[in-house]
Amino acid sequence: DTGVSQDPRHKITKRGQNVTFRCDPISEHNRLYWYRQTLGQGPEFLTYFQNEAQLEKSRLLSDRFSAERPKGSFSTLEIQRTEQGDSAMYLCASSSPNGQGRRGAFFGQGTRLTVV
Amino acid sequence: TQLLEQSPQFLSIQEGENLTVYCNSSSVFSSLQWYRQEPGEGPVLLVTVVTGGEVKKLKRLTFQFGDARKDSSLHITAAQPGDTGLYLCAGVGSGGGADGLTFGKGTHLIIQP
C-alpha cells in the first residue's frame, strides 16, 4: 500500500462550476477525514466517515459541499457552484480503527483548488 | 472552540543552530501531536504525546508535553536544511472528527545552509 492518494493534485476552475475530488485511503483504515487548509493556516476539519457512514460534519461544510464514501473505501468531495473563497488545499486523511488520536492521521498529498 | 497558538510563526536560522518552537492552549487535551508539512504535501505525523510532563525524542528532535497537558514544545538540536518545513501541532480531544484534531497555524521553519 502506497498510502493515501488524492486526485487530482491541482484543479483550476471558474467561479460557479462544480468540482469533485477523490481520495483513496490506506486499505485497512476504516476512518476517513476531509480537511481544508488555506494559506497560512493549519488544516481545518470538514467531515469524517467511519466505513460508509458520515458521522460528523463541520460548520465549515456549507450546503454546496457534499462528501460520500459509498462502499467504505474511496471517498469523493464535491463542491457545487464554486466561489473564490473555496480556493484552498483539500486534504484527505485516514486512520486505523483506533482513530487518529492514537497513531495519528495519515494524510494524502492534497488537492489544490484555485477558483478564478 | 479550543485554539492552539503556535510561536514563532516564522523562524529562519543557520544550519547547526538549536531552536525551540511552542504550542500553547488555554484548554486541556487528551493528547497532542506534532506534524511536519512540506510545500505541496500533506502533513506527516512526527510524534504523539499523551502524559503530562512526557518527553519524547526522535533523533535530533525533542518533544515535551506540559504537566497540565495544555502546551507542548519541540526542540531541534543542530538543525539541518532537511528540517525545513511547516511544523504543526494538533490537539486531540475536540474540534471534530471523533478524535477531534484541532490544528494550530504552524511554525514555518527555514534552515539555511
pLDDT per residue as tens digits for the range A60-101 = 889 999 999 998 899 999 999 999 999 999 999 998 877 676
Query: What average pLDDT does range A30-41 have in this prediction?
Result: 92
DSSP string, B12-75: EEETT--EEEEEE-SS--SEEEEEEE-TTS--EEEEEE-STT-EEEETTEEEEE-TTSSEEEEE
Percent residues over pLDDT 70 in chain B? 92
User: What pLDDT shows up at residue B29?
Assistant: 84
Provide the β-strand partners of residue A45: A35
Chosen for mutation from A6, A36, A45, A109 (greatest number of chain B CBs closer than 10 Å) is A45
Q: Report the SS3 class of residue B110.
A: strand
Look at B31 and A101 and tell me if their CB atoms are within 8 Å.
yes
pLDDT at residue B97 tops 70 = no
CB contact under 8 A, A110 and B41: yes
Contact B45 A99 (CB under 8 A): no
Residue (of A53, A34, A37, A36) closest to A95 by Cα position = A34
Task: Name the residue among A41, A99, A107 with its Cβ closest to that of B99.
Answer: A99
Residue (of B85, B44, B89) closest to B63 by Cα position: B89
pLDDT at A59 over 80: yes
Q: Is B49 on the interface with A (CB under 8 A)?
A: no
The reply to whether residue A42 touches residue B88, judged by beta carbons under 8 angstroms, is: yes
Check residue B109 and give its pLDDT.
Answer: 97
What is the rounded distance in angstroms from the CA atom of residue A92 to the CA atom of residue A76?
Answer: 10
- The number of helices, as runs of H, and strands, as runs of E, in chain A is 0, 11
Q: What is the pLDDT of residues B41-74, one digit of tens each?
A: 999 999 999 889 999 999 999 999 999 988 999 9
Among A86, A5, A104, A92, which Cα is nearest to A47's?
Answer: A92
Q: What is the pLDDT of residue A58?
A: 87
Residue A16, pLDDT > 90, answer yes
